A and B are shown apart, each in its own frame.
Chain A
């Protein structure tokens, strides 16, 4: 990554800046799709058949939903523990 040139470009060109924001967002989406496909493939696919059967399809959809739930749960719980920790250390310093 050349730190100077993209910053220079985006400062002079709002169109380009917008383009970069949109593409970055799209790329994050794609990257997570790659990751979840790989993960859910392990959970949902026994032996690849002539078509994706409905049982496997349901499994993939549930797998995506639960993966996102897991990620959000962990984020929330970490936030909670951080909050109670800092509340604890504040009460200590009082």
Chain B
């Protein structure tokens, strides 16, 4: 992440004979945002599911732990989507009341 944004931004902005291509910049920014969001989700999900599923770290990730992690990942995504929907409907309601 660090350094990637600046360098790629620079390449998009000044690469083609110093001419700026807003379309290309927008595409790259969108990709960077998607990557950042995926990393954010991955980090929080790993943290939460590690806490839920790994009671006492053993010599390997055993079968029941793997099952728990898989289930935890799916539930975390459900939770994310539920929160996103609830927040979105709250925003809609507040906009309607303004």
Q: Which residues of A contact B (CB under 8 A)?
A: 2, 5, 9, 12-13, 15-16, 19-20, 23, 26-27, 29-34, 36-38, 40-41, 44-45, 47-52, 56-57, 60-61, 63-65, 68
Docked-complex contact B40 and A34, CB < 8 angstroms: yes
Helix, strand, loop or mixed for chain A's interface? Answer: helix
Between-chain CB contacts (< 8 Å), 9 pairs:
A13-B20, A23-B29, A29-B87, A33-B80, A34-B37, A37-B44, A41-B79, A45-B79, A64-B83
* Residues of chain B with a CB closer than 8 A to A60's CB: 79, 82-83, 86
* Identity of the chain A residue whose Cβ is nearest the Cβ of B37 in the assembled complex: A30
CA distance A1 to B15 in the complex (A): 19
Docked-complex contact B79 and A52, CB < 8 angstroms: yes
Chain B contributes a number of interface residues (CB within 8 A of A) equal to 34
CA distance A45 to B68 in the complex (A): 13
CA distance A38 to B6 in the complex (A): 29
Docked-complex contact B90 and A27, CB < 8 angstroms: no
CA distance A57 to B9 in the complex (A): 41
CB within 8 Å of A: which B71-92 residues: 71-72, 74-76, 78-80, 82-84, 86-88, 90-91
* Identity of the chain B residue whose Cβ is nearest the Cβ of A16 in the assembled complex: B22
Q: How far is the CB of B35 from chain A (nearest CB, A)?
A: 12
